[in-house]
Structure 1
């Protein structure tokens, strides 16, 4: 039997649904709306296996903040009514047949990346449902990313148009440009155009740094800020070696009210 694993970036979906509600304290409405959303996702994707991955507590910014202390420092805290309603949301999703994986100390991104690449490496189909372009570095022939809210695939042509690099170069790209929304600084003076130029000529930051062919204006910037580039690339790169503690059989989709 062929496998199709769907991984829901849970807080990515929930926050967007909640922010669109007229009354932010009406968590029951948020629950109902997310359930309708998941019903559509299930209908469109027809998964054999599915799981929703939730991030760790908002107060803990994870290992990336240990590498870059300003990482996501300005992230808005989750609204209290929504935070208090997460257990009810997870229960409602379980009743639809979708179990939840709660990260502890690891970012949900890394858990998603580990599970997705592990399954895709065996030639099985994986769909990550998220608006987060960070997952695009994982793209492969059997691994795809669906932006449900924009009704689009975040695929290789999208990455080429959006960034001008290959999916496998995205961590290097963000190592150079930084990620302003997450307070990842990158290399001062290197923006998207320069990063695209560098990564068109060279495969990676390290290849550019090691080459005598790097143009002087970029050579000076990398010589001065290579450690920042390396740190920012490390933060931008998703970990794919997290201990998961379960197997695919545990997240097989059996329909609503599945038996434990």
Structure 2
């Protein structure tokens, strides 16, 4: 069975960079990144692996909603300038990269979906909780920094929803980390209570007459924003990647 280890490149490297005491120690960063990738491969024993990087094009989400990810701390210029060299160093050690045109998230989701559709397994290495929306058989998420699988039950308890309700939850309450707006006046607590009572976004909108006047009006006036937020939060799994899996085989002897 094919097992594809998919590493969220910027999620890994930016956290490694933020944790190091000397931001100018780029050679040290490269070694820590390589060590992390090799450790991940040794631990998970994949048949194939890919480090997926964000591209420089504007994402379709930003085009759809210009405030998407607005206000996020930009990548340090020193790190951005070093990335091509870092990727080359990783390639020299047979750690294979995939460069997305824009955001890496949809490429990661598509890779995971395609390998699982062919009876394989996908392990996504990222701390981004958004990947927990991927519920097809064979996909799991690993937190390198916690050295553990993503605890879906803990996430469900924290948010007060089921995993299958995550996109509906973000459509209602938004996602502050990515500046996904949600519905004005509907916070995480209200969103969780609504989904607990009505199970889905569609059911909520079919039951506005059962809600209080103020809440019903918020939902009614926020309908278009909820649809937009759902679309922004949903990962695409249908990209045409034109990749050959054989190019991403892991060679243990080189690790």
Matched, 1:55 2:51: no
Q: Distance in 1 between matches of 2:233 and 2:64?
A: 11
Report deviation, 1:25: 1.7
TM-score, normalised to structure 1, is: 0.91
Q: Distance in 2 between matches of 1:203 and 1:119?
A: 30
Unpaired runs of 5+ residues, structure 1, are none
Note the aligned Cα RMSD (angstroms): 1.8
Q: Is the Cα–Cα contact under 8 Å of residues 174 and 181 in structure 2 kept in the other structure?
A: yes
Which of 116, 132, 135 aligns to 1:136? It is 132
Over residues 3-49 of structure 1, what are the superposed CA-to-partner deviations in whole Å (9 max), with x where a residue is unaligned? 11100000000000011112212210100111111122112111111
Q: Distance in 2 between matches of 1:245 and 1:155?
A: 33
TM-score, normalised to structure 2, is: 0.93
Q: Is the Cα–Cα contact under 8 Å of residues 95 and 256 in structure 1 kept in the other structure?
A: no
Corresponding residue number in structure 1 for 2:201 = 205
* Distance of aligned partners of 1:223 and 1:48 in 2 relative to their CA distance in 1, 3 Å threshold: same
Matched, 1:119 2:118: no
Unpaired runs of 5+ residues, structure 2, are none
* Distance of aligned partners of 1:96 and 1:200 in 2 relative to their CA distance in 1, 3 Å threshold: farther
Report deviation, 1:103: 1.0
Corresponding residue number in structure 1 for 2:240 = 243
* Distance of aligned partners of 1:14 and 1:256 in 2 relative to their CA distance in 1, 3 Å threshold: farther
Which of 79, 87, 90 aligns to 2:84? It is 87
Report deviation, 1:75: 1.6
Q: Distance in 1 between matches of 2:185 and 2:15?
A: 33
SS class of match (1:126): strand
Report deviation, 1:225: 0.5
Which of 98, 103, 122 aligns to 2:95? It is 98
Report deviation, 1:109: 0.3
Higher mean Cα deviation, 205-214 or 187-196? 205-214
Which of 52, 64, 67 aligns to 1:67? It is 64
Q: Distance in 2 between matches of 1:189 and 1:74?
A: 21
Q: Distance in 1 between matches of 2:229 and 2:239?
A: 20
Report deviation, 1:91: 1.6
* Distance of aligned partners of 1:210 and 1:83 in 2 relative to their CA distance in 1, 3 Å threshold: same
Corresponding residue number in structure 2 for 1:146 = 142
Count, aligned residues: 254
Matched, 1:228 2:225: yes
Q: Distance in 2 between matches of 1:132 and 1:90?
A: 21
Q: Distance in 2 between matches of 1:226 and 1:12?
A: 32
Report deviation, 1:214: 4.3
Higher mean Cα deviation, 181-190 or 209-218? 209-218
* Distance of aligned partners of 1:174 and 1:212 in 2 relative to their CA distance in 1, 3 Å threshold: closer
Corresponding residue number in structure 1 for 2:24 = 25
